Structure 1
Amino acid sequence: MQFSLFYFDGDGTSAEAQPYRLLIDSARFADEHGFTAVWTPERHFHAFGGLYPNPALTATALAMVTKRIQLRAGSVVLPLHHAVRVAEDWAVIDRLSGGRVALGAASGWTMDEFVLAREPHGARRGVMWRTLDAVQRLWRGEAVSFEDADGREVEVKTLPRPQQPELPVWVACTSPETFVEAGRRGVNALTSLLGDTVEQVAAKITRYRESLARAGHDPSTRKVSMMLHTFIGEDLATVKDEVREPFSAYLRTHYGLLENLAKGMGLNVSLKDFSEDDLDSLLRFGVDGFMQGRSLIGTPESCLPFIRELSAAGVDEICCLIDFVQDYDSVMGGLGPLARLKSLVGREALSG
């Protein structure tokens, strides 16, 4: 099992003088302690998450302060971008970093983001796959035809040439169909437990591996990476007390997660119908369950059984989302115990 750091939040309205201090310092820590990768997202028009409108920019910054860790987009919303721009930007980062980039691709989150798109929100999945195909071809140095503003077909090749001959690719997968298509195309899968149980994700991973094999790809060379909210400490009660309030505040700002939490409690309702008292009750009774069954929150020892369960389900890498706690000292203080968990998992794999 590999471990990486994943970023998703960050108050983009804050007047803090160094809003990217956590990103830079935690990435340095991960680089120095043998983590596999760092993932930075693309999020538009969100106060929380507003620090990350462009993963190419954050990856460029991290290329300058790290030496070995892979720099991944988690993820580029491809329907919002032209394939040429994506290929060019990430080729620059690949050269700056010595060949350390990887691209996570997504079809899009909200309708509002599609003010940046040239095609409608409803077409986003097909646009993502077409754009990804073009990016991969441009990365290899192939000429790709695009239509200009006058409707004329133009063949282009992009520069600079990247250092890596093939672009490592992950696709954000939630539905069984996306897992199957990712397998058919031979790309890695990025998933989560936000809307599923471990058993449900395990079934999707099985279909992904089967799709890889049918398409002639070696399943052992492709990776399933799972994003998990992560906060590790040395005392379980202290960890839960420290995380409960910021995690509740985080869930209040992410209605999609809260609705999944409600469904997990057997409440098939829309949160727009909830009163403040309803939301308080949902958070009070649901947060502990979410922390235990869908996140990596606890001590290194208490989290080991969950890691074993995920490994048995076919997960190859834990992408540790660390910035849902909006406190620099708390998050940085949890990285040492997280590194110890990573070491325990490594030693267990060697002895097993």
Structure 2
Amino acid sequence: MQVGLNILGAENLYGGQIRPVLRLAADADRAGVDMISTGDHIGFNAAAHAQRVETNGFPFPLEHDWYEPLSLLSSVAAVTDRVLLNVSVLIATVRPPVLLAKQIATLDAISGGRAAIGMGVGWQEAEYTATNMPFDARFGRMEDTVRVCRELWTKAPANFQGREFSFADFHSLPFPVQERVPVIFGFGPSRRNFDRIARVADGWTVNPADMQTFSQSVSLLRDTFAEHGRDPDSAVVQVSVAPERRDDGTVDLDATADKTHAWHDAGATVAVFRPATFCTAGEEVPQLIDWAVGLKSTTDDTREGQ
């Protein structure tokens, strides 16, 4: 199992300053964390945000800072050597796909081949309106977005003819360092969505609301990969792990470890922890990093003992 840290909101552990978060990422890289992740929203309509808080328990206030993820990860790339660079999830369909392909290729090139991007379509129509992108048919457009990226990542000249995007004899360099940049979709667990993943992507990043059917969903994902002629064991399954808490509200790392091991046994290949939800100050982050890295060996030991 790989372990990751999601640095979304971590600046709040350092008095609202973002630069200490880069030191956090560098420390995690040296300690053996496998991935640094962040989240994405371009902005919010206040009424839509309030409704999301009321109906879905959206945990971020309207005043929360959302650093543009690919720019932030480029800064992380400059201070790290080995961690994968992930967004969970990038709202890909509010971005022009040719520009998105260029941004991800640049991130992969400057990091030496470490981009691993989660993509989704979001929930807020206002982000589409503000970027002059269509909200309807966004799930299908996601597939074309990835196809555009893969064409531009591997060919020069590149050619593409889709329902909404097309180009011919188009040169866009640099190519990514990786032969295939991993793309994982943040979609709900359904056969139709897993077909989309198997056609153009490499795995699934799981919404916490979908964990109740996690084991069955992983089985369906792997079966779908096999039906598309792909190795079912190659499917990335990324989960975000919230802390288990004691009755007094303090974080119970042992109980959280047990939950993480259970999800790994059910098919999770990457477990991601967000320091902003585990820690109350930056001084606590080193302990979280050590604990997360230690999970890799205890998980391996557990599986060997089964």
TM-score, normalised to structure 2's length?
0.81
Q: In the alignment, what sits opposite 1:138?
A: 152
Amino acid at match of 1:349: R
161-170 or 115-124, larger mean C-alpha shift: 115-124
C-alpha spacing 1:31/1:15, structure 2 compared with 1 (3 Å): closer
C-alpha spacing 1:312/1:189, structure 2 compared with 1 (3 Å): same
Q: In the alignment, what sits opposite 2:17?
A: 18
C-alpha spacing 1:80/1:203, structure 2 compared with 1 (3 Å): same
Q: In the alignment, what sits opposite 1:188?
A: 203
Structure 1 residues 88-237: aligned runs within 5 Å: 88-141=102-155, 143-145=158-160, 154-176=168-190, 177-197=192-212, 200-230=213-243, 237=246
Amino acid at match of 2:292: L
Q: CA deviation at 1:345?
A: 2.1
Instruction: Give SS of 1:201's match.
Output: helix
- Which structure has the greater CA radius of gyration? 1
Q: Distance in 2 between matches of 1:213 and 1:316?
A: 18
TM-superposition CA deviations, 1:237-296 (whole Å, max 9, x none):
5xx6455xxxxxxxxxxxxxxxxxxxxxxxxxxxxxxxxxxxxxxxxxxxxxxxxxxxxx
Q: Kindly indicate whether the alpha-carbon contact (under 8 Å) linking 2:14 and 2:281 is maintained by their aligned counterparts in 1.
A: no
Q: Distance in 2 between matches of 1:339 and 1:242?
A: 24
C-alpha spacing 1:124/1:326, structure 2 compared with 1 (3 Å): farther
Q: CA deviation at 1:139?
A: 0.8
Q: Kindly indicate whether the alpha-carbon contact (under 8 Å) linking 1:323 and 1:331 is maintained by their aligned counterparts in 2.
A: no
83-92 or 304-313, larger mean C-alpha shift: 304-313
Q: CA deviation at 1:57?
A: 0.4
Q: Kindly indicate whether the alpha-carbon contact (under 8 Å) linking 1:180 and 1:207 is maintained by their aligned counterparts in 2.
A: no
Instruction: Give SS of 2:113's match.
Output: coil
TM-score, normalised to structure 1's length?
0.71
Q: Kindly indicate whether the alpha-carbon contact (under 8 Å) linking 1:226 and 1:318 is maintained by their aligned counterparts in 2.
A: yes
Q: Distance in 1 between matches of 2:270 and 2:166?
A: 44
Unmatched 5+ residue regions in structure 1? 244-296
Matched, 1:82 2:96: yes
Q: Distance in 1 between matches of 2:166 and 2:232?
A: 41
Q: In the alignment, what sits opposite 1:67?
A: 81
Counterpart among 260, 277, 281 of residue 307 in structure 1: 260
Q: Distance in 2 between matches of 1:299 and 1:221?
A: 29
C-alpha spacing 1:48/1:7, structure 2 compared with 1 (3 Å): farther
Q: Distance in 2 between matches of 1:321 and 1:144?
A: 40
Amino acid at match of 2:8: F
Q: Distance in 2 between matches of 1:334 and 1:135?
A: 35
Q: Distance in 1 between matches of 2:63 and 2:290?
A: 25
Q: Kindly indicate whether the alpha-carbon contact (under 8 Å) linking 2:6 and 2:38 is maintained by their aligned counterparts in 1.
A: yes
Q: Kindly indicate whether the alpha-carbon contact (under 8 Å) linking 1:185 and 1:215 is maintained by their aligned counterparts in 2.
A: no
Structure 1 residues 252-291: aligned runs within 5 Å: none
Unmatched 5+ residue regions in structure 2? 45-60
Q: CA deviation at 1:91?
A: 1.5
Q: Kindly indicate whether the alpha-carbon contact (under 8 Å) linking 2:113 and 2:176 is maintained by their aligned counterparts in 1.
A: yes
C-alpha spacing 1:182/1:211, structure 2 compared with 1 (3 Å): same
Amino acid at match of 2:107: I
Q: In the alignment, what sits opposite 1:281?
A: none
C-alpha RMSD over aligned residues: 3.0
Q: CA deviation at 1:17?
A: 6.7
Q: Kindly indicate whether the alpha-carbon contact (under 8 Å) linking 2:31 and 2:290 is maintained by their aligned counterparts in 1.
A: no
Q: Kindly indicate whether the alpha-carbon contact (under 8 Å) linking 1:193 and 1:201 is maintained by their aligned counterparts in 2.
A: no
Percentage of identical aligned residues? 20
- Indicate the structure whose relative CO is greater, using CA pairs within 8 Å and at least 6 residues apart: 2
